[in-house]
Amino acid sequence: MIMVILTGTSYSEHIKPNIILILADDLGYSELGCYEQNKIKTPNLDLLASEGMKLTDHYSGSPVCAPSRCVLMTGRHTGHSFVRDNKELPREGQTPIPSDSFTISKMLKAKGYTTGCVGKWGLGSPGSEGDPLNQGFDLFFGYNCQRQAHYYYPKYLWKNNQKIELSGNNERTGTTYSPDLMKKEALNFVRENKGRPFFLYWPTPVPHVSLQVPEDSLTQYRHQWNETPYKGGHYTSHKTPRAAYAAMITRMDRDIGELLSLLKELSLEENTLVIFTSDNGTTFAGGVDAKFFNSVGKLRGLKGKLDEGGIRVPFIARWTGHIAPGTTSSHVGAFWDILPTLADIAEVQSLQDIDGISFAPTLLGKSGQKKHEFLYWEFSGKGGQVSVRMDNWKGILRNLIKNPDAKIELYDLNNDIAEKNNLAEQHPEIVQRIKKIMECEHAPSKEFPFVALDSYETEGHIDKKDDRQS
């Protein structure tokens, strides 16, 4: 682990800025207009980018939901984080993060922020140590459980520790569309806390399948394209899956537009940092046609893979009067950097046991931006994968579970963003450096064992006593 000592420089002129962090679910790198999408309309997020900064080389915490959210909340990459895969509990919820976890919400609450989480949680069942109310949030509204978030007409949602029954819903159909309730709750949270510093975490379930969207949004895209009906299964069927997917994203964009309008109405734009990103790349399931929408652009891979398309995500930040409008940055960062960045902005003086580096200087046009020597991911799913980005080099191990002696593939992202040309044989010295990083950054986990990686050995093996597991 690394310790980050922050400068304490006041970015907010001694007025704590409000912070809104919006997390889309399975939204691909190129599914917004400002990231070269040309079929799906996202005018409000495009406007947000024009009024702030767009990052081109920002990465999620993992290629799937729960570990990515754990990394985001705790600032620790998947070699050190507690949650490293989706792991379901029998009745409701996922593996809880421990009670002593240091999270963004706990950090900001300690600095005097009122904290709210509206959307999909996935880091601990109701009443568990991982329950958002036990992880620093004053308010929680939405789906605690990721499985239940597969349906947009749920039988109930949670508000704090109370079940809110939604009569008329049976998961696959219904009268109450859950994202509409979440938007209402998010707007109410802002109104109720307009006079004091607040942190709103809005992890919307959109556009994760099932493909479900009200008719008033579907109408915009109906009959635009040739359609092959999705027959369904675990996820709901849909007669026009392309139209439904586009409509879900556009409706999400409309909801975000309402939030931005409210900030303007309440004169909060200059004192509110708004961040928008996604938890991983586009899905391959449920009737979603990623190829049709060019969902990850030129990138390789989708959700579940450590290829660029599975982990490189859109990232937009706006803070009127602080972030220069219409700017783009190629700063290389990842979800574990968001905690120290928000700590920097909220003037938290020191952090321990995190892997992230604040990129507040990049956002705010300040000097002194530190850079990562490397970024690291591991994921035991999809055959077992490990990946490292080091400068413009990308190293990746695949199918490690079946083949413990798998060889590292090496790609030059400067000249091969699609990861087509494996250059491992031409650059053995780079491969060796990446091997050492992989050995060093993996700390074994009892809850999420990755046996093939625990025993991974190569020439130049680093003694596990020196692997920074503390």
Percent of the chain with pLDDT over 90: 91
pTM over cut 0.85: yes
Amino acid residing at 141: F
pLDDT at 34 over 60: yes
- Ranges assigned E (strand) in 148-231: 156-159, 162-165, 198-202
Look at residue 12 in the predicted model and tell me its pLDDT.
Answer: 43
**CA triplet 383, 63, 129: central angle to 5 degrees?**
105
pLDDT digits (tens, 9 = 90+) for 317-328: 999 999 999 999
DSSP-derived 3-state class of residue 336: helix
Per-residue pLDDT at 454: 83
Whether 164 has a pLDDT exceeding 80, the answer reads: yes
Instruction: State how far the Cα of 160 lies from the Cα of 116, in Å rounded to an integer.
Output: 10
Q: What spatial distance separates the first Cα and last Cα of the chain, rounded to whole Å?
A: 7
- Give the model's pLDDT for residue 460: 36
**Euclidean distance between CA atoms 210 and 245, whole angstroms:** 9
pLDDT, tens digit (0-9, with 9 covering 90-100), for 296-348? 999 999 999 999 999 999 999 999 999 999 999 999 999 999 999 999 999 99
CB-based contacts of 14, cutoff 8 Å, min separation 6 = none
Q: Which two tokens stand for residue 265?
A: 């109405």
- Residue type for position 40: I
Mean pLDDT calculated for residue range 354-376: 97
Q: Is the pLDDT of residue 352 over 90?
A: no
Contacts of 425 (CB under 8 A, 6+ apart): none
CA dihedral sign of residues 18, 21, 22, 27: positive
Q: What is the dihedral of CA 325, 18, 334, 300, to 10 degrees?
A: -60
pLDDT over 50 at 167, yes or no: yes
Q: What is the mean pLDDT of residues 397-410?
A: 95
Q: Which domains are assigned to the chain?
A: 2-364 (3.40.720.10), 375-466 (3.30.1120.10)
The band of 14, judged by pLDDT with boundaries at 50, 70 and 90, is low
Given a contact cutoff of 8 angstroms between Cβ atoms, the answer to whether 41 and 253 are in contact is: yes
Query: What letter represents residue 407's amino acid?
Result: K
- Which among 95, 101, 209 is positioned nearest to 144, based on CA atoms? 95
Q: What angle do CA 240, 48, 71 make, to 5 degrees?
A: 80
User: What letter does residue 153 receive in the DSSP assignment?
Assistant: B
Alpha helices per DSSP H over 27-155: 43-50, 65-74, 104-110
Q: Where are the beta strands (DSSP E) in 239-326?
A: 272-278, 315-318
pLDDT in tens, 95-130: 999 999 999 999 999 999 999 999 999 999 999 999
Q: Which two tokens stand for residue 172?
A: 């696959």
How large is the average pLDDT for residues 52-60? 98
The band of 457, judged by pLDDT with boundaries at 50, 70 and 90, is: low
Region 462-470 average pLDDT: 31
Cβ(367)–Cβ(432) below 8 Å: no
Q: Are 128 and 95 in contact (CB under 8 A)?
A: no
More confident residue, 94 or 3: 94
Q: Read off the amino acid at residue 409.
A: E
Mean pLDDT over 194-216 rounds to: 98
Q: Does residue 62 have a pLDDT over 70?
A: yes
Is the pLDDT assigned to residue 469 strictly greater than 50?
A: no
Q: Among 41-50, 435-444, 457-466, whose mean pLDDT is lowest?
A: 457-466
* Nearest alpha carbon to residue 24 among 215, 354, 251: 251
pLDDT, greater one: 453 or 179: 179
pLDDT of amino acid 84: 97
- The answer to whether 71 touches 78, Cβ cutoff 8 Å, is yes
CB-based contact 206:123 (threshold 8 Å): no
- Rounded distance, CA 337 to CA 76, Å? 9
DSSP code, position 100: T
Residues in a beta bridge with 276: 22, 316
pLDDT at 302: 98
Query: Closest by alpha carbon to 427, among 401, 457, 394?
Result: 394
- 431: three-class secondary structure by DSSP: helix
CB 198 within 8 A of CB 112: no
Q: What is the pLDDT of residue 459?
A: 40
pLDDT at 349: 83
Tokens of 73: 């909340």
Q: H/E element holding 143?
A: strand 139-143
What pLDDT does residue 455 have? 74
